[in-house]
Amino acid sequence: MKRRILIPLLIASAMAAGALHALPRKPASDRDSILFRAERILVEIRESYHRFSLGRNARDIILPDFLRDALELQAMIRDDRFETVRAIVTDEELVDLIYWQAMAVSDGDVRRGLLVMTLAVMDHWKLGLRLRPFGILRLPLTLESEDEFRVRASRLPRNLFGDTPSDAYGDRDKLQHFFGSAYLTEGPGGKTFADATGEFVEWGESAFVVGGVNDVRDVAANRRGQAFARALTANPDARPSDFLGGDLKQSP
C-alpha cells in the first residue's frame, strides 16, 4: 500500500453528545429515514463512550479538547455497531454521517470540526521519515494501538470517486487529504496556504517518507477539500459528499 499522508497533523478523539446535521428535521424520503436511523446509531455509540473509566477520565484531563474529540470519533468507528451503519448507507453518505458527528463533538465550530475529522479518518498509524545519516524515524500519528488502528482504518469509507481503485484500500487515504486541506483553508492563510502546504507535503513525501510518492490524486483530493471549505463559508450545512464522486482528477 502506498504511503501517503497529508501532514503529520497529530492524533485523535473524545467527548460530547447531541447530533448536529444537515438533514431535515422530519424525513423527507425513505433515504432520509435510513440516514436518520444511521445517525441515531452513531450518537448512541458516542454516548456509550462516556461511561466511567478511570484511565479515560485521567486522559480527558491531560489532552486538549480536539484530541479528546478525535479519540471519541475513532472509538465510534471501531465500535461493532458502526458496521450496522456501513451496511445501510453508501460510502459517500458515511462520510457525511461521520462529519456530522465531528461537528457535534466540536459544538458546531467548523474549523475545530474539520481538524477532528482529519484525525478521525487518519489512514496511517506511523509516519516513517528517512533522516540521513540517522536512518528511519517513525512518528506516531494516532494514540491508538496498532490493532485499534487497523480496525478503524479497515472501516473507513473507501469508494468515494468514479476512478477509485478496486483494491481493499480504495480511496480511504484521500479522506485525510480532503479534510486536512479543508481545515487549512478555513485558517488565516486560506486557499493559498492550503495549496502551498499540500504541494510541500507531496514533495516531502516522495523525498523523505518511507514508501511515499508524489501523487496527483492526493493533490486533487486537497483541491476538493478546499472547495468544500469555501462552500461552508456560504452554507454551514454543506455536505462533504457534494464534493465527492466523479473522477478525482476532475473538478467536483
Look up residue 243 and give its amino acid: F
Q: Is residue 78 part of a domain?
A: yes
Does 192 have pLDDT greater than 50?
yes
The answer to whether the CB of 43 falls within 8 A of the CB of 214 is no
pLDDT at 139: 73
Picking from 102, 220, 92, the residue whose alpha carbon sits closest to that of residue 156 is 92
pLDDT digits (tens, 9 = 90+) for 1-53: 443 433 333 233 333 334 445 554 555 577 889 999 999 999 999 888 876 55
At 204 the pLDDT is 41
DSSP assignment letter at 13: -
- Answer whether residue 194 shows pLDDT above 60: no
The predicted-structure confidence for 144-175, as pLDDT tens digits, reads as follows 999 999 999 999 999 999 999 999 999 999 99
Give the whole-angstrom CA distance, residue 131 versus residue 199.
20
- Determine, yes or no, domain membership for 8: no
Is 15 a domain residue? no
Domain for residue 139, yes or no? Answer: yes
Whether this prediction's pTM lies above 0.85 is answered by no
Assess if residue 103 is contained within a domain.
yes
pLDDT beyond 50 at 58: yes
Within 13 Å of residue 129, how many CA atoms lie on the same side as its CB? 13
* Total of domains in the chain: 1
With respect to residue 24, please indicate whether it lies within any of the assigned structural domains. Answer: no
Per-residue confidence (pLDDT) for residue 56, from 0 to 100: 64
Closest CA to 148 of 120, 174, 172: 120
Q: How many residues does the chain have?
A: 252
For the chain, what percent of residues have pLDDT higher than 70? 67
Most confident of 121-125, 240-244, 246-250: 240-244
Let me know: does 240 contact 177? Beta carbons within 8 Å.
no
* Residue 141 domain boundaries: 30-243
pLDDT of 79 reads 96
The CA distance from 241 to 228, in Å, is 9
> For residue 69, what is its C-alpha cell?
474529540
62 confidence band (pLDDT: 50, 70, 90): confident
pLDDT of residue 240: 97
For residue 49, the model assigns a pLDDT of 80
Q: Which residue has the higher pLDDT, 189 or 79?
A: 79
**Per-residue pLDDT tens over the stretch 200-236:** 444 344 434 444 455 788 889 999 999 999 999 899 9
In a domain, 9, yes or no: no
Residues forming beta bridges with residue 3, ordered by sequence position:
212
pLDDT (tens digit, 9 = 90+) per residue, 89-144?
999 999 999 999 999 999 999 999 999 999 999 998 766 565 566 656 667 778 89
